[in-house]
Homo-oligomer: A and B are copies of this chain.
């Protein structure tokens, strides 16, 4: 069993219930991970994922080995048949096979490079590990997806929803730097698995996510209209998917403010963090009582713990 995409979840509602149960007694399965080792390989920075996934593993009694691959290890080659006479010192085939011998589960973070769309959307790094590793792989944010985040988001919405069929908005917001689409992609995929939620995506024209991800999701280019009666507003910047990896819009009118939140049905504000204050969202909203970003981050531990627990039970 791997956890690469939110689609690896068989029943989202059951998983969410299990995670909430874990949250009530996180040390209950302290023996499950005894003498099992989680290898955490980072190709990019990480705060929440780094600490919450470690914490989850410790709650399960696992050993954890953390490695910042980029500066602590060797540059990897991902192409089959490559003549490796320039930069890369090691092929993903050996790296993945070897690490599999030292770890019972391998978790990987490898962001989109945002230069080569095709390469990013082929998930070069995580696909390489998937292909060659001989142990389960957990996605700690790949080029295209961030399913530990989306599971935490689902848990958080379950905890805060106040009616049977809430309205959920995913809203783009401006950001000075080019960011990957991974969080938004996985959130969309997670929402597609929700049975009783109304979902709408809002962003400036031209900022459409990959149509293979959004499929028939409702898109509303008017942010105000999208916010109307929303119960949850999930805000996230992403760089342009069509003009790949570019920042083609930084319109401050898309910043989420108290005025905009006033259009909602007393809606909760969500963001995966880190968040740029007064660019993505105003202080007033982020610090307001309807902001549930800190609890979202808290649920990262239980999201990761559920995934590790599911895998441990199968190995």
Contacts and interface: CB of A to CB of B under 8 A. Distances in A.
A46 interface: yes
Nearest to A250: B85
Given A35-B27, A83-B279, A89-B276, A50 B74 contact: no
Interface in A131-184: 176
A84 B276 contact: yes
B85 A279 contact: yes
Contacts of A50: 65, 67, 72-73
A253 interface: no
Contacts of A11: none
A37 B55 contact: yes
A260 interface: no
Interface stretch (A119-127, A212-220, A293-301): A293-301
A21 interface: no
Interface in A38-85: 39, 42, 45-48, 50-52, 54-55, 58, 63, 65, 67-68, 71-74, 77, 80-85
Contacts of A37: 55, 58
A35 B26 CA distance: 10
Contacts of A287: 93
A91 interface: yes
A101 interface: yes
Given A85-B276, A86-B176, A277-B77, A52 B294 contact: no
Copies in the complex: 3
A101 B297 contact: yes
A102 B283 contact: no
Interface of A: 27, 30, 35, 37, 39, 42, 45-48, 50-52, 54-55, 58, 63, 65, 67-68, 71-74, 77, 80-86, 88-91, 93-95, 97-99, 101-103, 176, 273-279, 283, 287, 293-294, 297-298, 301
14 contacts: A48-B98, A51-B103, A55-B103, A81-B278, A82-B278, A85-B276, A90-B275, A93-B287, A94-B275, A94-B294, A94-B297, A97-B297, A101-B297, A102-B301
